[in-house]
Structure 1
Amino acid sequence: MDGRAAPQPRKAPQLEHPVHDLTEDERDAGRLTRFEGLEVPVDALLGLVRRGWERGAPMEAGIEHWISRRVTDGLHLVVSLDPGMNIGMLDTSGAQTLVDVRLAEHPYSHRSDQPTTSRFGDLPPIVASELLDDLTHLASAAEESRGELKHAAMRPRRVRWAGRRV
């Protein structure tokens, strides 16, 4: 991601499910900056809906600028997207940059230029772990996507010359 060491997930013995821990800095913060700046394929973001996330309300020109998950009563994890997903043409929306990953009272009224008053350390550990698991899936999808683009750029091109493949 950005070179900062993130704690490695461990397995919960009774569930065989990865348990992710917040870093010390993340426990005291209301943002998860280690995930900000990732370029994530749209299909990975849409996959979060099956995991309890909600797509943002379409704004101007039908663009959804965030995706969110309710974590407790009156608190959501909101991920701001750039350029945003076009609800009418999701397949052409392209990769989305995670601009801001933060706790907010309402997904539709948060402002990325304002500090957040909520802290991840105040969440139940299992909730924080589930959020980190979802975001880690996005980070993996971003990494795979970068690898596929790099691999595609290295493939030799096939060109047709006078009807024959060269």
Structure 2
Amino acid sequence: MRRLTAEQAAHERLTEFVGAAVAVDRLLKLERRGWWVRSAPMDAGIQDTVECYLPGRGVLTFPLDPGISVQFPNEDPVQTFRDARLSGAPNFAALDPVALSELLCDLHYLHHGGAMR
């Protein structure tokens, strides 16, 4: 089971993932599982945010750079998380520990690769 330190859990931002480069194909695989959702398309059909809806409460939002093209999702095969911010809960300590562990497993998969949980 993955955990945050007490200091990390006291915040609503996961700074270690700000600036993280993630592969689009991994984001798309996670989206098929249900927790992860891309934003509605903006200008030129670009989806500029991905959100992770946690069971119970809490949404973790990741603005993307450069964003995912709806028409050509793999046009930019690597996206950068510009932020990693929690809403709907005061901090990560308020989340269900199992859901938080699942989220951290997903983030590890996105950032470092390996097998999905």
* CA–CA separation in structure 2 for the residues paired with 1:40 and 1:139: 5
Higher RCO (Cα < 8 Å, 6 or more apart)? 2
The alignment status of 1:33 with 2:15, answered yes or no, reads yes
Shift of 1:38: 1.2
Shift of 1:94: 2.8
Q: CA RMSD in A?
A: 1.8
The alignment status of 1:97 with 2:69, answered yes or no, reads no
The alignment status of 1:24 with 2:6, answered yes or no, reads yes
2:59 pairs with 73, 76, 85, which one? Answer: 76
Stretches of structure 2 lacking an aligned partner (at least 5 in a row): none
Q: Percent identity?
A: 39
Query: Residue 111 of structure 2 corresponds to which residue in structure 1?
Result: 139
* CA–CA separation in structure 2 for the residues paired with 1:75 and 1:87: 26
Code of the aligned partner of 2:19: G
Query: Residue 32 of structure 2 corresponds to which residue in structure 1?
Result: 50
* CA–CA separation in structure 2 for the residues paired with 1:70 and 1:84: 19
Count residues with an aligned counterpart.
113
Q: Give me the TM-score of the superposition, normalised by structure 2.
A: 0.87
Q: Deviating runs (4+, > 2 A) in structure 1?
A: 72-75
Computing the radius of gyration from Cα coordinates, the structure with the larger value is 1
The 3-state SS of whatever aligns with 1:51 is coil
Stretches of structure 1 lacking an aligned partner (at least 5 in a row): 1-18, 106-116, 144-166
